Structure formats: C-alpha cells, structure tokens
Amino acid sequence: MTLGHCMLIRHSPVIRTKTFNHLAVIAMLCVSALCVTPSVLAEQIEVTGKAKIVNGDIDKAREDAISQALNYASLKAGVNFSSEQQVNQGRLTQDTFQIQRMGSANNVELMSEMISQHTITVVLQLELSEQEPNAQCKSQSLKAAIMLPQAYLQEREQLRYGQLAHFEERITEQLGKAINAQSRYSFARLHADEKIDNTNQLVNFKGYRIPSWLGEITDSQYLLQPEIIDISTEPAQSSYMGFVEDDPLRQFIFKLTLYHGISGEVVWSESFATSAPWEFERQEIVSPANQRFWRSSYGQAISDILQQSVMSLDKQLNCRPLLGQIVARQGDRIIINLGRKNGVKMGDKFQIVLQKNIPDRFNSMRAIATKSRANVVIEQVTEDSSTAIFDGIDSADNIQVNDIAIKN
C-alpha cells in the first residue's frame, strides 16, 4: 500500500489478516518533511515498540506501540517523531502522528504485529536518508546552554496517589538527561533542586525580567521552565464480569516554556500529554528515583513524551541564531560566554552587536540592538567561555560588557 509516494506500509505474512484501522493513522505520517527526494545514502533500520492493552482497546495500544517504535527510530537515526494528542474531559485521546526534520523516511513498513496476553508488539522498518538543508534558514552550528530549573507542579495533592516524593525534581532531571542525550542544538544546565517563583510573572524588583537576569548569572542563552499540569489517576475499571480490575490510567500532561536569556521574552511554549496504566498497588509508596518506576508503563510513557518534547525544542532552536554576550573586556580582548560546550573552536569569527537596555512604558527593561562593524577572532576556548581578539581595533571603540556576539 503506497501512501502519497513518500511512505510505504506493507503487512508481513506473519501478521494477522485483519484490516487495521491504524493504517489511516500511519498515513498521517506522510507530511511535507518526508516528501523529499531520497538521498543517495539511505539506511534501513528496524525498531520495535510495545504497549499494554488497557480495557481491551487494541487500537489505542497499537498506536502507543507505533509511537514508541518511532521514538526509538528518532533516537537511533535522528528522525524526529511527534504525536498530536488531545485531552477530552481529562482523558487522553491520541489522534495523529508526524515525523519531522533532521532526516527523511522514504519508506516505513509495518513488518509484524503480535498480541500476547495484555501486550501488543509491533516491528517497523524505516528507510532513512539525510535531510536536505532547509533553504529558508542556516542550520545552527552552535549549541545553546539552557538553564533548567525545577518543574512547577500545579496540583500538589495529586502526588498523594503513590506518595510521589520529589517528583518535580526527578522529572526535571529526566528532561535534562533527554536534552543532553538527544538535542542537536542545546544542552541543559540542570538546577533540579531550585525553583523559580512564578508568582511575580517572571519580573524582579529591578524591572529586569527574571529569565534575562538568570541567563546572565548562569551564562545560559535560554531558560526552559517545565510545568506539570496534571498527573491525576482515573478510577480502576472492572473487567471479566467484574471480578478483575484493570490498572487505573494515570495522566501526565505538562508544558514547556522557553525564555530568551537576553530579552527575557517567551520564544516558545507547548503542551504535551500522555497516559499509561498505573501498575502499582493502591497504597504503595512509589519512588520516582527508583528504576522500577521508570521501567513501569507510566514511567516509560513519561520518558517517551519527554523525548518528544526535546524534538519540538530542537525544531524551535534550529533556525534561531545563537546569541552570546561579552562578559569581560580588557584592551583589544574580550571574553564571550560561549565555550567548548557550545561548539566554539579556535579561529571562529564573531560579529559584535551593540546592546542597550531601555525602560518601556511599564518601566520594564527592553533590549535594543545596533549592528556594529566590529569583528573578533577566537584565540582561546574553555568549557564555558572564549577569549577573542578584535579584528581591527578601530571598530572596537564602543564595545562593552553585555554586547552581543554572533558567529559569522
């Protein structure tokens, strides 16, 4: 069965002969990011996904298994997969799937499907090739440092089910690990034990926006604030004539908000949602620091959705120029808050942009920038900063601390 000339799905002879409704779902994979001319260098990979069948809903379990398999593909070969989901009356319904960016999948084949007791297993085969460069933007060659504070939890009473101690810290740590392992355009500066007081709407007493202020003291280009919106648990449902109870479903809905480290403005915000069976006993104390939690269906569902969120984050950072700042100057030398971790190398050239903060009508500080003729060449690189020398001292007269550096 050919879908839009860019995706092929076949049933292997070992698959059951039933016609699957999920073919329509898989067809949604054929998005514009995939419909490209195949590269000469193509790679075939095979990935497996598993999901638990809850309340006899095989279609939903199949979609979850396919979602997991495509997540594994994204980590294995750089193809970014995301799922579009909706939540109706507190219950998650999964609608469409998409593969985005980084690479192209010219063929996706469903090789097999197996149902064993309460688990469904699918095997997908993908033919991958390098994605052609986006003609509308220059791919980012540097990595942004992202300050990652502790996740904010909206409804703390929801922690009582399972007595999830330090849940916000563990989620923040897992998100930081996902960013550092998966992101092509950023790395996390983890502050999982530190909260940001968001009651003041991210403005401090000086009128400077808190993300900007924190960006300066941590040498981070962005601040990423996680917010856990819902971890409620639905009542368990009885099956098999009421004698057996299925595991209750537990939600995980969270939002990421990305703030610019210089202007303090929101540059991206997106919500993500999933649900999975809560396999622990009703009164059991569950530790999110324990691998038993992360091996459970609920823990795996959270890990999958965190990986998807990193893909969405990368999509936002891909075409955004990385702005470093001058943190010190002495004579014809400056220090920039971008270093080896960001991908800066000796000999790199940066252009300097003059920056000035001015108060707006509400007395909040706003950054304005003016292009200058000054250029610098990196002559020394450390992990978190770089020393550069001006290329033409005459153009460096007005350069000062907090001015912006952009790689040429």
- Where among 78, 98, 130 does a domain terminate? 130
Tell me the chain's radius of gyration from C-alpha atoms.
24
Render pLDDT for 130-189 as a digit per residue (tens, 0 to 9): 554 444 566 668 999 999 999 999 999 999 999 999 999 999 999 999 999 999 999 999
Alpha-carbon span 248 to 56, nearest angstrom: 13
Do 124 and 151 belong to one domain? no
Question: At residue 262, what are phi and psi to the nearest 5 degrees?
Answer: -100, -50
- Where among 100, 130, 160 does a domain terminate? 130
Cβ atoms of residues 251 and 231 within 8 Å: yes
- Residue 176's domain comprises 144-291+309-317
258 CB-contact burial (10 Å; exposed 0-12 / middle 13-18 / buried 19+) = buried
**Domain tally for the chain?**
3
Do 278 and 197 belong to one domain? yes
Do 371 and 387 belong to one domain? yes
Do 95 and 159 belong to one domain? no
Domain with 76 in it: what CATH number?
A: 3.30.110
Residue 364 lies in a domain: yes
pLDDT, greater one: 41 or 391:
391
Tell whether pTM > 0.85: no
Do 167 and 313 belong to one domain? yes
Alpha-carbon span 312 to 315, nearest angstrom: 5
Domain with 233 in it: what CATH number?
A: 3.40.50.10610
Residue 77: predicted pLDDT = 53
Do 164 and 277 belong to one domain? yes
Do 277 and 165 belong to one domain? yes
Do 284 and 159 belong to one domain? yes
Do 122 and 21 belong to one domain? yes
Of 35-39, 44-48, 390-394, the poorest mean pLDDT is in 35-39
User: What single-letter DSSP state applies at residue 218?
Assistant: H
Residue 296 lies in a domain: no
Residue 298 lies in a domain: no
Alpha-carbon span 287 to 296, nearest angstrom: 12
Going by C-alpha positions, the residue among 98, 117, 110, 141 that lies closest to residue 58 is: 117
Do 327 and 313 belong to one domain? no
With the C-alpha atoms ordered 209, 213, 214, 220, is the resulting torsion angle positive or negative? positive
Do 80 and 219 belong to one domain? no
Q: Among 126-140, 231-245, 360-374, which range has the highest average pLDDT?
A: 360-374
Residue 303 lies in a domain: no
Do 176 and 76 belong to one domain? no
Residue that is written with structure tokens 């996904």 in the block: 49
Question: At residue 91, what are phi and psi to the nearest 5 degrees?
Answer: -115, 135
Helix 297-317, helix 58-77: angle, nearest 10: 50
Domain with 385 in it: what CATH number?
A: 2.40.10.410
Q: State the pLDDT confidence band at 102, using cuts at 50, 70 and 90.
A: very low
Residue 75: predicted pLDDT = 56
Alpha-carbon span 406 to 348, nearest angstrom: 11
Query: How many other C-beta atoms can be found within 10 angstroms of the C-beta atom of residue 190?
Result: 20
Residue 394: predicted pLDDT = 60
